């Protein structure tokens, strides 16, 4: 049987249409977007058209989109540059379940004088809005709360979070890398000041992303990369035109197929969840309803998540224990610990994330392989009694 990929939260393949859109920008239309000649103008035009596409998809203005090298960089720019440029306020509020790009940036800033509040989440991993309100002081500069979690797929009510921030005159940043093109995003309606996006999670190329910075916030953000003044002086460096064109193409396709893809993934996800929960002493992590269309994350008592991932890999099924970044370390996931799981249970987690091209047949196959894998591993566990 062909290999089955169920790790779309880690990355996705570049769509064929995306690759086709990118190819001319390597060896034919290779101009530098800052050159005055025809080559340069051609590149500039592609750059600005891509900016319009991405802006349009989130109800932003083109000049509010800054191209970056990906989600990690966007998170870094948003948090660091806001902090370094507005030293009169030093308090940042975030949550315990953020991506490492946000958490480790906040930890770094703590060494630079920032005070950081890490909000708790409930057992379904939802932020408590009253706790957020109570945490805001006159020193609070920024609230950074992710839209959807990369490990367990929980979707936060960012519109309400944004509204609280607006009312208290605090800037709101959200990491929307996982939710982009899976949840509807409208930066105006949802009161978002800054937002991180990445291309490779939506069938675009790796190494490209964007940071949305609302018009009124832009002057509060300092220069991240000093140089020739590209990207409105915030992030210098010759633009990655092929990557940016690919990113915009991926967005165009994802917006066009939004309903179709998400409906399909949601149906398969529900079948997957239903099937997996038939395995004894198995639990779903995250919120039962407020979760991404493609995410399923489980705890299998008495087995290690790594063990399951290896066994699935042997059978040609690609899965993950948590986030791709933390799966190499043997520390239990900070997200699962924040939900209140015991460390030994947090070790037994498995993340399966669907893509638009997965099929019912694949899901049926995975269910069979998975229940066998769990059974075998449990037989070898001293804690498991049949």
Ligand X SMILES: *Cc1c(COP(=O)(O)O)cnc(C)c1O
| Residues with active-site annotation | 325
Of 17-25, 65-73, 86-94, 160-168, the segment contacting ligand X by CB under 6 A is 65-73
Closer residue to ligand X in complex, CB, 54/177: 177
> Is 177 one of the binding residues for ligand X (CB under 6 A)?
yes
Q: Using the rule CB under 6 A, which residue among 198, 320, 326, 327 binds ligand X?
A: 198
Contact range with ligand X by CB under 6 A, out of 42-50, 66-74, 211-219, 332-340: 66-74
Nearest to ligand X of 209, 332 (CB atom):
209
Query: What is the Cα–Cα distance from 317 to 338, expressed in whole angstroms?
Result: 28
Please identify, using beta-carbon distances, which residue of 162 and 209 lies nearer to ligand X.
209
The stretch among 193-201, 216-224, 227-235, 256-264 that binds ligand X (CB under 6 A) is 193-201
Q: Is 209 in the site for ligand X (CB under 6 A)?
A: yes
Distance of closest approach, residue 149 Cβ to ligand X, in angstroms:
7
d(CA 202, CA 183): 12
- Alpha-carbon span 332 to 10, nearest angstrom: 18
**What is the token pair recorded at 178?**
């996982």
334 scored as a contact of ligand X (CB under 6 A):
no
Least separation, in Å, of the C-beta of 282 and ligand X? 25
Q: How far apart are CA 277 and CA 273, in angstroms?
A: 6
Q: C-beta of 375: minimal distance to ligand X in Å?
A: 31
d(CA 120, CA 31) in angstroms, rounded, equals 49
Residue 178 interacting with ligand X (CB under 6 A): yes
Cα separation of 380 and 163, whole Å?
A: 51
| 243 touches ligand X (CB under 6 A) | no
Instruction: Please state the closest distance from residue 210 (CB atom) to ligand X, in A.
Output: 10
- Shortest Å distance, C-beta 155 to ligand X: 12
Interatomic CA distance for residues 52 and 49, integer angstroms: 5
246 interacts with ligand X by CB under 6 A = no
Please give the Cα distance from 185 to 179 (Å, whole number): 8
Of 266, 270, 239, 248, which is closest to residue 355 (Cα–Cα)?
266
Q: Which residue's CB is nearer to ligand X, number 177 or number 369? A: 177
Local structure of 4: helix, strand or coil: strand
Which range binds ligand X by CB under 6 A, 105-113, 172-180, 267-275, 298-306? 172-180
Give the start-end residues of each E strand in the chain: 4-5, 65-68, 91-95, 115-119, 140-144, 171-175, 194-198, 209-213, 282-284, 295-300, 317-318, 349-353
Nearer to ligand X, 70 or 307 (CB): 70
* Identity of the residue, 8 or 269, whose beta carbon is nearer to ligand X in the bound complex: 8
Q: Which residues, 77 to 116, sit near ligand X by CB under 6 A?
A: 99, 101
Does position 153 interact with ligand X (CB under 6 A)? The reply is no
Query: Of the candidates 31, 43, 71, 338, which one interacts with ligand X according to CB under 6 A?
Result: 71
Write the DSSP string, 192-253. -SEEEEESTTTTS-TT-EEEEE-TTTGGG---SB-SS-TGGGTB-S---HHHHHHHHHHHHH
Residues in contact with ligand X by CB under 6 A are 70-72, 99, 101, 146, 150, 175, 177-178, 198, 200-201, 209
């Amino acid at each position: 049987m062909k290999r089955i990929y169920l790790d779309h939260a880690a990355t996705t393949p570049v769509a064929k249409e995306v690759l086709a859109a990118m190819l001319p920008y390597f060896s034919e239309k290779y101009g530098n977007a800052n050159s005055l000649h025809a080559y340069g103008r051609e590149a500039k035009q592609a750059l600005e058209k891509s900016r319009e596409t991405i802006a349009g998809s989130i109800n932003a203005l083109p000049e509010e989109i800054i191209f970056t090298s990906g989600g990690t960089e966007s998170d870094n720019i948003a948090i660091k540059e806001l902090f370094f440029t507005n030293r009169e306020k030093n308090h940042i509020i975030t949550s315990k379940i953020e991506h490492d790009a946000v958490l480790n940036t906040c930890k770094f800033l703590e060494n630079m004088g920032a005070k950081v509040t890490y909000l708790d989440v409930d057992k379904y991993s939802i932020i408590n809005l009253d706790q957020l309100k109570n945490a805001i002081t006159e020193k609070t500069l920024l609230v950074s709360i992710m839209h959807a979690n990369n490990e367990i797929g929980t979707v936060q009510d960012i519109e309400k979070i944004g509204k609280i921030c607006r009312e208290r005159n605090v800037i709101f940043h959200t990491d929307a890398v996982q939710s982009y093109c899976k949840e509807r995003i409208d930066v105006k309606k949802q009161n978002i000041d800054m937002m991180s996006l990445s291309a490779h999670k939506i069938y675009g190329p790796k190494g490209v992303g964007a940071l949305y910075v609302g018009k009124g916030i832009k002057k509060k953000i300092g220069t991240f990369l000093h140089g020739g003044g590209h990207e409105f002086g915030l992030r210098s460096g010759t633009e990655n035109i092929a990557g940016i064109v690919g990113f915009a193409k991926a967005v165009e396709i994802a917006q066009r197929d939004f309903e179709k893809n998400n409906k399909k993934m949601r149906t398969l996800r529900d079948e997957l969840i239903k099937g997996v929960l038939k395995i004894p002493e198995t639990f779903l992590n995250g919120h039962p309803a407020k979760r991404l269309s493609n995410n399923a994350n489980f705890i299998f008592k008495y087995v290690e998540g790594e063990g399951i991932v290896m066994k699935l890999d042997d059978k040609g099924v690609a899965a993950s224990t948590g986030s791709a970044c933390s799966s190499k370390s043997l520390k239990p996931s900070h997200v699962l610990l924040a939900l209140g799981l015991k460390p030994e249970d947090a070790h037994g987690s498995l993340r399966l994330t669907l893509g638009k091209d997965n099929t019912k047949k694949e899901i049926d196959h995975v269910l069979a392989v998975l229940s066998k894998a769990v059974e075998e591993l449990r037989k070898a566990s001293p804690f498991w009694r049949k």
